[in-house]
């Protein structure tokens, strides 16, 4: 059953890679505009959960409902389209395109969606301002620091105003000051655009920026709000 | 925290009245626990008795709040010594949480559940501090960071213990 008002819900997800069980009956739900941290030790299945929720990996069984639609029943093309239009992604390493400037990197998802160049550039700059990296517009990723690059990556992930932002250890490669700045700006920008955030992290200080946490252990999830 | 040393330290920049000292203390260090006037005056009379401060002037009207205090040479030496002495690191060897976990194992209750519940409570507090830090000034940020790092250390212990529960069960249930 989908919790009322939930944007993205997973029920009883199971996924095995050969003999290794990654998910063993995991549940999840996130509401619009909510930041949910997915926590747990390495190898607990939290990244697999994120990949299933984002439609990157298909679970062996279980259901994932996004905005009333069953994600597991969609074909690949439909799921890819959804990832482009409704979902945004931030990973541990920014994965910016090194040949493009920071502004071109941020504008890229809009250009791929067919937004005219000028409009895409203006929107990109707006999001770079929110992430306080607008002064880096003309620089290439190789010329900016790790923390700056990660903020550019967050701007790129949010530029299409996705309804869900998936962030997989977004501060994992940063020191704590830079990591916290990224989290502050990421959550502020996401809240301003009403994006839900699925935040995978093993760091409590990063999880403290969330509204709620789910703990994954041995492929099973536990919603800590309901536990307390 | 040693209130006496802190008030002495605040006096080093110049003489102050008792109410002025309280205000300076509350502003800089008393975010959660402001001083009572009674605490200030009892501390000042002790410092006075020990020769670490002297009365620099008394305004007409009487009452303790009329006195202006100044630090003495002995007072400055005392502050210097206090600042130079490292605080004793607190090893927290008698953790209530450890006791709870062991008791849960001994009585065949769910120890993982205790750890998970505690983790949620810690994170709840960390969220409050993170929010306060976000809205606060640099002083607030540093105070909250101190608390956040300690809570984070607890959480790491919770994680590690959760991962070792089976071994711990073997060790304690004999």
CATH number at residue B72: 1.10.10.10
Q: Which residues of B touch A216 (CB under 8 A)?
A: none
Q: Does B90 map to a domain?
A: no
pTM of the model: 0.82
Shortest Cα distance, chain B CAs vs residue A20, angstroms: 19
The percent of residues in chain A predicted with pLDDT above 70, rounded, is: 97
One domain, residues B110 and B77: no
Q: Does B48 map to a domain?
A: yes
Nearest CA in chain B to A41: B159
Q: Which domain holds residue B72?
A: 3-84
- The interface predicted TM-score (ipTM) is 0.82
Q: HEC profile for A9-24?
A: EEEEEEEEECCEEEEE
The DSSP result for A89-135, as a single string, is: EE-SS----TTS-HHHHHHHHHHHTT--HHHHHHHHHHHHHHTT-GG
One domain, residues B70 and B108: no
The answer to whether the CB atoms of A213 and B152 lie below 8 A apart is no
Please, which pLDDT band fits residue A227 given cuts at 50, 70 and 90?
very low
- Per CATH, domain A1-86+162-172+194-228 is 2.40.128.20: no
Q: Does B8 map to a domain?
A: yes
Shortest Cα distance, chain B CAs vs residue A44, angstroms: 11
One domain, residues B76 and B103: no
Is residue B134 within 8 Å of A191, Cβ to Cβ? no
**What's the Cα-to-Cα distance from A216 to each of A171, A227, B124, B126, rounded to whole Å?**
19, 13, 18, 20
What residue has token string 């697999």?
A48
Q: Does B91 map to a domain?
A: no
Q: What total of structural domains would you count in chain B? A: 2
One domain, residues B105 and B41: no
One domain, residues B76 and B111: no
One domain, residues B10 and B33: yes
Please, which pLDDT band fits residue A141 given cuts at 50, 70 and 90?
very high
Per-residue pLDDT of chain B (174 residues; tens, 9 = 90+): 689 999 999 999 999 998 889 999 998 887 778 899 889 999 999 999 999 999 988 877 656 567 899 999 999 999 999 998 888 887 776 688 899 999 999 989 999 889 988 999 999 999 999 999 999 999 889 999 999 999 999 999 998 998 899 999 999 887
Q: Does B89 map to a domain?
A: no
pLDDT of residue A43: 83
One domain, residues B145 and B125: yes
Q: Give the residue with greater pLDDT, A61 vs A227.
A: A61
Task: Measure the CA–CA gap between B128 and A217, rounded to whole angstroms.
Answer: 25
Task: Measure the CA–CA gap between B125 and A68, rounded to whole angstroms.
Answer: 34
Q: Which residues of B touch A214 (CB under 8 A)?
A: none
One domain, residues B11 and B71: yes
Q: Which residues of A touch B123 (CB under 8 A)?
A: 204, 207-208, 213, 224
pLDDT of residue A173: 83
Q: Does B126 map to a domain?
A: yes
């Amino acid at each position: 059953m989908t919790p009322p008002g939930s944007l993205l819900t997973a029920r009883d997800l199971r996924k095995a890679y050969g003999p290794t069980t990654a998910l063993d009956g995991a549940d999840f739900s996130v509401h619009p505009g909510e930041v949910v941290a997915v926590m747990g030790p390495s190898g607990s299945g939290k990244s697999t959960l994120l990949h299933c929720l984002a439609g990157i990996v298909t679970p062996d069984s279980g259901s994932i409902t996004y905005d009333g639609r069953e994600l597991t029943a969609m074909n690949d093309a439909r799921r890819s389209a959804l990832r482009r239009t409704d979902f945004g992604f931030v990973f541990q390493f920014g994965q910016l395109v090194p040949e493009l400037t920071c502004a071109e990197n941020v504008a890229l998802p809009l250009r791929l969606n067919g937004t005219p160049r000028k409009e895409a550039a203006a929107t990109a700059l707006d999001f770079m301002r929110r992430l306080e990296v607008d002064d880096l517009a003309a620089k290439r990723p190789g010329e900016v620091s790790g923390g700056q690059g990660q903020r550019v990556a967050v701007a790129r992930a949010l530029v299409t105003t996705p309804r869900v932002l998936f962030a997989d250890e977004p501060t994992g490669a940063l020191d704590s000051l830079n990591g916290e700045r990224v989290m502050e700006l990421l959550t502020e920008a996401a809240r301003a655009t009403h994006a839900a955030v699925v935040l995978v992290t093993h760091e409590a200080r990063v999880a403290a920026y969330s509204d709620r946490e789910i703990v994954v252990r041995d492929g099973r999830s536990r919603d800590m709000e309901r536990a307390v | 925290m040693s209130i006496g040393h802190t008030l002495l330290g605040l006096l080093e920049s110049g003489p102050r009245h008792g109410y002025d000292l309280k205000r300076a203390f509350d502003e800089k260090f008393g975010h959660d626990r402001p001083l009572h006037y009674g605490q200030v005056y009892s501390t000042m009379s002790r410092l006075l008795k020990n020769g670490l401060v002297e009365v620099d002037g008394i305004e007409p009207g009487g009452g303790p709040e009329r006195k202006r205090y100044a630090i003495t040479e002995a007072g400055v030496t005392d502050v210097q010594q206090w600042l130079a002495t490292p605080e004793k690191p607190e090893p927290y060897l008698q953790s209530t949480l450890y006791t709870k976990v062991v008791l849960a194992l001994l009585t065949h209750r769910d120890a993982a559940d205790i750890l998970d519940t505690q983790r949620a409570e810690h994170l709840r507090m960390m969220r409050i501090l993170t929010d306060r830090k976000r809205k606060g000034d640099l002083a607030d940020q540093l105070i909250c960071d101190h608390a956040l790092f300690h809570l984070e250390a607890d959480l790491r212990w919770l994680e590690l213990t959760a991962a070792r529960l089976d071994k711990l069960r073997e060790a304690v249930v004999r």
